[in-house]
Structure 1
Amino acid sequence: MSILDFVFYTFAVVVVIQVIIYLVVFGKFAYLKPKKKRTQNLPVSVIVCAKNEAENLKTFLPSIISQNYPEFEIVLINDASSDDTLDVMEDFKSQYSNIKIVDVKNNEAFWGNKKYALTLGIKASSHEYLLFTDADCKVLSKYWIQEMTSHFSDRKSIILGYGAYSKIKNSFLNKLIRFETLLTAVNYFSFAKLGNPYMGVGRNLAYTKKEFFKANGFIKHMKVRSGDDDLFVNQVATKSNTAICFSADSFTESTPKTKWSAWIRQKRRHISTAKHYKLNHKLSLALLYFCQVLFWILAIALSITTYMWPFVVGLIVFRFIVQYAVYGSSAKKLNESDLLVLLPLLEIFLISVQLVIFIKNLTSKPNHWK
């Protein structure tokens, strides 16, 4: 067998593996039909942790305050801010009786650790059901609380939601950020439906106070400054206790980074956190990434040599048809269909950036909570 034979057969195997992953794994979410949930009107504590977020609170907190929901409190956590965050919180509190403020001072043992601030906020909350979002997030519907909490049940104590990023016209970086966010959501929604949940995003996440204290909070990964959302979910989520929520009324929307350097720093934090996932999750995610990289390397190599080009082209087209079908259905669910036009280009850019970040994280530690 020649080297080109080996490369071609390896490429064919990679394509088959990817197609199986798209259909069997990602298809779990792509072709999932949302089930109508009954309104439960559970008392809810909405928790927002803010560090130097005065302007964002002024802009986005009203979308939470205006929720159409009978009984909820808003727990605002001021994590040792150096700007006017606390003043803004107190101004809102003077106007709305359902707002509670937790003012966190710097603690030498937990310096700059968001998990410490969140723990104090959770302890101060009044209700069993907790719903989390960020200070820079806008809730897109007045039924957000209703939609997210409708998935709680006697068995389901963790609800994974979707946190989108706002669209910026004529910005390739914005499309790349949203594409990465879409793929991440497809991953964690699909794995959850397969009975193997591994992460959630703090921009839109709910769980019970009982689940939090049963796990002793963030104690197992308190020294890892990032990961208050995904590491906690990775630790406690199971097939039986986790549900997903992807109705349009349940979405939140954050302001994305507008500079490459800022986004790279953010991604470095996220990628460095993933190394603390359970082994089976790390292996699964590594396989997904390895297949993506190998597909593009082998596809480009075989295209340059024109070796067995009709079969190579056929495999490439087949792979893209399946990918577009699965991602297209998923993107429609999450209101990100405009990204599909640039799918191949975005995919190449994303796996390249991820590789650079992974290498950079091996040589230096990324920064964490502000």
Structure 2
Amino acid sequence: MSAVLTGPELQVRREIARVESDRKAIRIWLGVVILALFCLVLVGGATRLTDSGLSITQWKPIHGVIPPLTVAEWEEELELYRQIPEYQQINKGMSLDEFKFIFWWEWAHRLLARLIGLIFALPLAYFWIRGKVEPGIRAPLVGLLALGGLQGFIGWWMVSSGLSERVDVSQYRLAVHLMMACFIFASCVWIFRSLSVHSNDAVPTGNSRLLAGVLLVMTFVQIYLGALVAGLDAGYSYNTWPLMDGAWVPQGLFVQSPAWINIFENPKSVQYIHRIGAYLLFAAAFAHMVQCLRAAPQTTHARRSVVFFALISLQAVIGIVTLVTQVPLHAGVTHQGMALVVLAFAVAHLRGFSGERPKPVLVEVRN
């Protein structure tokens, strides 16, 4: 016969069940948000690769949801585009149909960003009102909502850099825009993972968690370097591997003055540093995997380290293919998408060392 639960015991059991149910609902919602953010970054990458980002020259947070519906409205949008340097110096004489192609990419990117705002804000309000949001994640979720609004401003700040003097957006602002998107994405993954079931396996070594954190930081840095490569169109040149411009250390890396500016504005230096960053991340992931497998090969932590190294290896192959094929659209978008997969797994791997969030504990009740 099963034991009869006392009133307090039954109450705690019900509280545990309620918390688990609420966490499941929050995880499903965050999973949708994470998928939408993933798609948003991919569309943003395609927008960059098709040189579509400057096709909409005005910031209309509300009215901009409605695209041109008549020929006259399309002509008005094209006329606005004709006023900026990109059209005058690169796309002069562009037809209306050609303009529509780049317009739709940018419009889709902005529309998806607006939709994600709703996908995040409305369910959050519902869960909050129903008391389903745990106190420990309330401030982070509100903070992410605020960062999403800031990201919209950053996006326009980025676009505005290419509307007056430049024929493209600033690589500095592009990198900030991408990194903010990645931070929001990673934060959602962190909260999602914190509400998931964790194993009780012991941490392989005393510094395993530290190295997992280093890997996450290195992943962020590598994505930042990739944004600079994209902003400078550095991937369209020096398309050989493993040598670059016929050498392991090519000439012309730090020819600009002051020297530090080469890290951000010299396309050759930026691509070279991005390559070195990839090698370092590959080596660090391999070392972490070996450490975990030697110390505790049967743990979930060790298995995750193997998966992470496999993802890094796959991303390296995709990066090489993207480079040697001179960044076709499908390869460039795949490379960017895989970077997000690596980032998400790096976040989940690090969070896995911390265990689950605490839940109500069933304690012995004495009569």
Q: Does the alignment reach a TM-score above 0.5? A: no
- For this structure pair, what is the TM-score category when the shorter chain's length is used for normalisation? under 0.3
Higher strand share: 1
TM-score by length of 1: 0.27
Larger radius of gyration: 2
